[in-house]
């Protein structure tokens, strides 16, 4: 094995890969959230133009491949480490009180990640798949025909169970980020008494604001169009 | 005086103790009653009382590790009521006193559980995996000579303090026992950062961290997920900062050392 392979198949090397891809995925969440704020524009034109740009711009299309790789490595490396970690304690403690020395989200990153993955598959199937390979209705905006993805989104969010999947997915994401964000810095060796408290506070804020922002979208359309 | 102290009343306790004949045998929790336990006893003295009872009645006494009984050696282990070294923070089992429990309590006592720590008998486990990590690089081979005059080697006070804090690790294995992942990274990080911070440790700095992490992985310990239960249960308070330093040292060594 070359030194490079040895580095990234060691426990610390794999952890570093999970951390780096995790932080990259955090940056994706910000871009995705900010872009999707277009949904709150009443007419839907802004969202349709934005969707068209995201689906056709060569830079975005290239980043899409990087994003898939980011998800792939994050999930694969985390799975390898989780399987290794589970094999260490073959006989479980008959009586264990981990709640006395650690918080719940930090101990359940694998479970939270799995919930997020299930959500992601549902989410991609419904929006990404249909936007890229389906045939949504066309809508004219200033003389040009656009896919009417806005209506696809709005109609999906009229289904209560679909809204529920989204809200649950975002709760899992929130807990995942609450541990994951600050944990990534620790894994990369970035721990310093000047900055670590700020990183932990920012991570806590990030883990609330980002999932809340995403959850606001299905809730907004469900409450506006169905409840009221 | 003692009679007036409500805590000095002798206690009767139910113990559920992990009994296992040897490494290969299947183990199980056995229930024992202990009577008239003084609150002033240490936890290990309470086990001594039980073992005397067992010996008197011709039964096999419970095997458990202990040596100095003053919190220095790191020999005593025991997972007590779901916590490494019991419910009290910052102590070893020998420093845990029976006054922390109440009359009528049921106490569950298990060995450290991790595949790299095979159970030898009952509550004793083989912790030599930690020795092998230490042997892989936790030393310096430069000749340090006799005791130098004070302040002859320039080391900032804050660094000297941090190195000393890391050096207080007694290799008890509570970090591994408490960790959901059975990771030995708090232990390894304490050993690595202690020497990485001091001038005498510079010669082998990169090779040390590479070899110690390789040995840690080879022994089959889990990977750290920054849960923090290790530092919370550590009897000498080794900080998570050391794990960050280990990660930093490892990655920079891997990319810059001469070892291909």
* Chain B residues 102-121 with CB within 8 Å of chain A: 108, 110, 113-116
How far apart, in whole angstroms, are the C-alpha atoms of residue B260 and residue B245? Answer: 22
ipTM, 2 dp: 0.92
Question: Quick one: which of B49, B72, B98 has its CA closest to B64?
Answer: B49
* Chain B residues 183-212 with CB within 8 Å of chain A: 183, 185
In chain A, residues with a C-beta closer than 8 Å to the C-beta of B183 are 11, 85, 88
Beta-strand pair B106-110/B11-19: parallel
Residues 6+ apart with CB under 8 A from A24: A70
Neighbour tally for A187: CB within 10 Å: 28
Radius of gyration of the CA atoms of chain A, in A: 20
What's phi and psi for B235, nearest 5 deg? -65, -20
The 3-state secondary structure of A68-109 reads HHHHHHHHHHHHHHHHHHHHHCCCCCCCCCHHHCCCHHHHCH
Coil, helix or strand at residue B35:
strand
Our CA angle for A6, A8, A13, nearest 5°, is 115
* Chain A residues 67-86 with CB within 8 Å of chain B: 81, 84-85
Q: How many CB pairs under 8 A join A and B?
A: 142
The residues with which A147 forms a beta bridge, in sequence order, are A138
Among the CATH numbers 1.20.1300, 1.10.10, 1.20.1630, 3.40.50, which is that of A3-227? Answer: 1.20.1300
Q: What pLDDT, on a 0 to 100 scale, did the predictor assign at position B137?
A: 96
In chain B, residues with a C-beta closer than 8 Å to the C-beta of A7 are 251, 254-255
The residues with which B79 forms a beta bridge, in sequence order, are B84, B110
Q: What pLDDT, on a 0 to 100 scale, did the predictor assign at position A159?
A: 94
* Annotated domain spans of chain A: 3-227
* Mean pLDDT confidence for A30-44: 93
| Mutation target vs A (from B180, B186, B214, B253; most A CBs, 10 A cutoff) | B180
B18 in reach of chain A (CB within 8 A): yes
Which secondary structure element, helix H or strand E, spans residue B80, and what is its range? strand B79-80
How far apart, in whole angstroms, are the C-alpha atoms of residue B258 and residue A33? Answer: 45
Q: With a cut of 70, which residues of chain B have pLDDT below it?
A: 1-7
Distances in Å between the Cα of A187 and the Cα atoms of A38, B224, B246 are: 35, 9, 9
B55 in reach of chain A (CB within 8 A): no
Of A88, A100, A183, the CB nearest to B83: A100
Question: Quick one: which of B38, B46, B36 has its CA closest to B15?
Answer: B46
Residue A36 banded pLDDT, cuts 50, 70, 90: very high
- pTM assigned to the model: 0.93
B166 in reach of chain A (CB within 8 A): no
Higher-confidence residue of A42 and A67: namely A67
* Mean pLDDT confidence for A115-121: 96
Burial A31-56 (b: 16+ CB within 10 A, else e): eebeebebbeeeebbbbbbbbbebee
Is the pLDDT assigned to residue A33 strictly greater than 60?
yes
Q: What is the DSSP letter of A69?
A: H
Q: Which chain B residue has the Cα nearest residue A193?
A: B241
Could you tell me what percentage of chain B is helix, strand and coil, using 3-state DSSP and rounding each to the nearest 5? 40, 15, 45
Q: What is the DSSP letter of A136?
A: P
For chain B, what is the largest distance between any 2 Cα atoms, rounded to a whole number of angstroms?
A: 70
B248 in reach of chain A (CB within 8 A): yes
Total residue length of chain A:
228
Two tokens at B50?
Answer: 């039980």
Report percent pLDDT > 90 for chain A: 84
B227 in reach of chain A (CB within 8 A): yes
Q: What pLDDT, on a 0 to 100 scale, did the predictor assign at position B7?
A: 61
DSSP characters for B11-33?
EEEEEEEEE-SSSSS--EEEEEE
What's the mean per-residue pLDDT of chain A? 94
Report yes or no: B190 and B201 within 8 Å, Cβ to Cβ: no
Report yes or no: A183 and A113 within 8 Å, Cβ to Cβ: no
* Mean pLDDT confidence for A128-138: 78
Whether residues A84 and B223 touch (CB distance < 8 A) is answered with yes
Of B81, B223, B260, the CB nearest to A15: B223
pLDDT tens digits, one per residue of A38-65: 999 888 899 999 999 998 999 999 999 9
Of B16, B223, B244, the CB nearest to A191: B244
């Amino acid at each position: 094995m070359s030194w490079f392979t040895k580095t990234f198949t060691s426990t610390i090397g794999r952890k570093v890969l999970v951390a780096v891809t995790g932080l990259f995925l955090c940056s994706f969440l910000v871009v995705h959230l900010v872009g999707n704020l277009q949904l709150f524009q009443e007419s839907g034109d802004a969202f349709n133009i934005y969707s068209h740009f995201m689906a056709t711009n060569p830079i975005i299309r290239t980043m899409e491949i990087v994003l898939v790789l980011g998800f792939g490595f994050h999930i694969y490396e985390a799975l390898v480490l989780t399987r290794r970690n589970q094999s260490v304690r073959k006989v479980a403690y008959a009586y264990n009180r981990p709640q006395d020395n650690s918080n719940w989200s930090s101990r359940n990153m694998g479970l939270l990640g799995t919930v997020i993955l299930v959500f992601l598959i549902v989410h991609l199937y419904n929006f990404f798949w249909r936007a890229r390979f389906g045939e949504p209705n066309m809508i004219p905006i200033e003389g040009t025909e656009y896919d009417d993805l806005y209506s696809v989104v709005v109609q999906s969010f009229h289904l209560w169970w679909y809204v529920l999947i989204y809200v649950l997915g975002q709760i899992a994401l929130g807990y995942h980020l609450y541990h994951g964000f600050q944990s990534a810095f620790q894994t990369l060796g970035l721990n310093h008494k000047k900055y670590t408290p700020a990183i932990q506070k920012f991570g806590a804020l990030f883990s609330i604001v980002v999932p809340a922002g995403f959850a606001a979208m299905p809730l907004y359309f469900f409450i506006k169009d169905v409840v009221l | 005086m003692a009679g007036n102290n409500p805590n000095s009343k002798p206690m009767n306790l139910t113990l559920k103790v992990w009994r296992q004949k040897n490494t290969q045998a299947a183990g199980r929790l056995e229930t024992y009653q202990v009577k008239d336990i003084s609150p002033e006893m240490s936890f290990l003295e309470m086990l001594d009382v039980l073992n005397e009872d067992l010996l008197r009645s011709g039964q096999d006494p419970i095997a458990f590790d202990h040596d100095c009984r003053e919190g220095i050696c790191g020999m005593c282990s025991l997972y007590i009521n779901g916590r490494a070294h019991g419910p009290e923070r910052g102590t070893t089992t020998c420093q845990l006193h029976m006054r922390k429990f109440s009359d009528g309590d049921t106490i569950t006592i298990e060995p450290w559980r991790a595949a790299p720590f095979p159970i030898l008998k009952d509550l004793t486990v083989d912790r030599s995996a930690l020795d092998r990590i230490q042997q892989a690089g936790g030393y310096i081979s430069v000749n340090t000579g006799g005791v130098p005059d004070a302040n002859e080697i320039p080391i900032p006070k804050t660094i000297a303090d941090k190195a000393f804090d890391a050096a207080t690790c007694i290799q008890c294995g509570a970090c591994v026992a408490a960790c959901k992942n059975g990771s030995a990274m708090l232990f390894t990080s304490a050993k690595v950062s202690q020497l990485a911070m001091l001038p005498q440790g510079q010669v082998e700095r990169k090779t040390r961290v590479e070899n110690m992490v390789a040995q840690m992985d080879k022994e089959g310990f889990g990977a750290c997920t920054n849960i923090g239960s290790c530092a919370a249960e550590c009897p000498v308070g080794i900080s998570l900062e050391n794990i960050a330093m280990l990660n930093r040292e490892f990655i920079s060594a891997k990319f810059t050392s001469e070892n291909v």
